[in-house]
């Protein structure tokens, strides 16, 4: 987490953009992240912005959150005085034998609904994600591998439409 002094030092060193992930809603955050508090994330973002550095943030869908948590997360994003320069919306890639490996896969329709909501709520932000340009996204990340998971080459996360 960065205080305002550290953010000013980074700005002085030439930093122009800073990625700081919120990950999920304030309400669901303690269920998946125990190393820091949601408020600390928001304060870091405020400090970075206060130093004149552009901020990118991210949310991950499929952590076990409810639809209400998705809505809360999306409504947290446009609350600062200025929208984030960039927002990444990702779906958790399920990996067996990990703590979240048995979660339900994010349905494609649900994923697209969140992207559309992000575009409406933050019209000036660049919305980054995989395979949703028709829903309002600006950028997609692809490749043979994302972190520890093989990708199909077509999309970087596995999403299903319909009933799963």
Q: 134-161 pLDDT, tens per residue?
A: 555 555 555 555 555 555 443 434 343 4
Q: Is the pTM of this model over 0.85?
A: no
| Annotated domain spans of the chain | 4-150
> CA 130 to CA 144: how far, in whole Å?
14
Q: Tell me which DSSP letter residue 59 carries.
A: E
User: Helices (DSSP H) in 13-162: which residue ranges?
Assistant: 29-32, 38-50, 67-76, 108-121
149 strand-pairing partners: 146
Backbone angles phi, psi at 32, to 5 degrees: -125, -20
What is the assigned CATH class of domain 4-150?
A: alpha beta
User: Tens of pLDDT along 66-96?
Assistant: 999 989 999 988 777 778 888 888 888 888 8
> CA 30 to CA 21: how far, in whole Å?
14
90 strand-pairing partners: 60
On the question of pLDDT at 15 being above 50, the answer is yes
User: Tokens in use for 136?
Assistant: 């309002």
């Amino acid at each position: 987490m960065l205080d305002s002094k550290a953010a000013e030092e980074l700005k002085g060193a030439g930093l122009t953009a800073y990625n700081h992930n919120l990950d999920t809603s304030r309400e669901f955050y303690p269920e998946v992240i125990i190393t820091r508090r949601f408020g600390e994330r928001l304060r870091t973002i405020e400090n970075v912005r206060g130093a004149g550095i552009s901020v990118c943030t991210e949310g991950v869908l499929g952590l076990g959150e409810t639809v209400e948590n998705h809505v809360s997360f999306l409504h947290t994003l446009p609350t600062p005085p200025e929208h984030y320069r960039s927002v990444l919306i990702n779906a958790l890639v399920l990996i067996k034998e990990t703590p979240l490996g048995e979660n339900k896969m994010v349905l494609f329709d649900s994923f697209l609904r969140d992207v559309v909501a992000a575009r409406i709520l933050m019209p000036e932000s660049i919305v980054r994600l995989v395979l949703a340009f028709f829903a309002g996204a600006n950028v997609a990340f692809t490749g043979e591998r994302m972190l520890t998971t093989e990708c199909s080459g077509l999309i970087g996360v596995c999403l299903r439409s319909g009933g799963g």
